[in-house]
Amino acid sequence: MIPKLKPPKRTQKSFKRLLTTMSILRLIFGIYTNISTSKFISWILKMYSIATCIFILLTWCTSNLYYDLAIIFISVMIEYVCVIIINLFRGDNYLRSFVNDVIARDKILGLKNTPVLSNSLTSTIVLISALRLVTIILRSCMGASSWIVFFDISFVLIVIDLNILSIFITFGILQNRLRILKMLLRSNSVSVNITGSGNVAMVIRNVKKILFYYNSLLDSLTVADTQLQLMLSINWLKNGLKLVLVPYFTIIQLLMVSETIF
C-alpha cells in the first residue's frame, strides 16, 4: 500500500511565499518577472530591467575596475547580461508552472502534505543566502576602493544568485519527488509466502499509480526544459571563459612585471 507521510511543518503555502519573495527580489534587481497579464505593466517592467542593466554596464565600464581587474568580472558580466536578456523574453513562468503542476499531481498520489523541498535542500538555500549576505556586509565594513564598483559587483552577483536559485529549486523539487517515489516503491514489495499473495493485485495497482506519477513528473519538467537548458548553458559559458581568460591575463601580467624588472 502507499504509506501516509507525516505532514511537514512547511506546507505548500510557505513555499509559495518563498516564490513570492523571490519574485519581489527579482523585480527589485531588474530581472523581468511575469506578475501581470497587462501589456502596459509588462512593458514598464521590461523597460526598468533594460535601464537597470544599461546603468550597471555603464558604471562598470567607466570605473577603475574596468581597466585594472576587468578579467575577474568579464565572465560574470556576460552571464549577468545573458540572464537579463533571457528573462526579458521568457520571464519566470516556467518555475511557477512547474511548481503548480507538481503540487496538483501530489494530490493524485496522496502526497498533499509533502514538502516541496527536502530539509537538506532548504537548509542549503538558507545557508547560501546567508553567506552571500554576510560576504556583502563584511566587504562593505572593510571599505571599498570605489563604492560604485562595490555596488555593481554586489548587484550583479545577487542577480546571478537569484537565477541559480531558480535552477536549484527546480531540480531540488524533482530530486525530492524521486526520493519519495523510491521510498514508495520499496514499501510496495510482494510477499513470497502464501498468506501475502492476496496483496499482489493491490501492489500492482500502487506500482502503476507510482509509475504514472513519475511520467507525469517528467512531463511537468518539460515546461521548464528550454529555459533550464539556456540558463545552464550560460553558466557553462561563464566557467569556460574563466578557464581561458584567467590563465591568459595572468601570463600577460607576469610578462609585464618581468619587463619592468629586467
The stretches in the chain having pLDDT less than 70 are 1-13, 63-72, 111-113, 139-146, 189-199, 245-262
Q: What is the pTM of this model?
A: 0.75
Residue 47 is predicted with a pLDDT of: 93
Could you write out the three-class secondary structure of 186-205?
A: HHCCCCCCCCCHHHHHHHHH
Q: What gap in Å lies between CA 84 and CA 93, rounded to an integer?
A: 15
Residue 260 is predicted with a pLDDT of: 62
DSSP state of 115: -
Residue 151 is predicted with a pLDDT of: 80
Residue 53 is predicted with a pLDDT of: 92
Residue 194 is predicted with a pLDDT of: 45
Residue 33 is predicted with a pLDDT of: 86
Q: What gap in Å lies between CA 55 and CA 241, rounded to an integer?
A: 24
Per-residue pLDDT tens for 6-62? Answer: 544 455 667 777 788 888 888 899 888 888 778 888 899 999 999 999 998 888 777
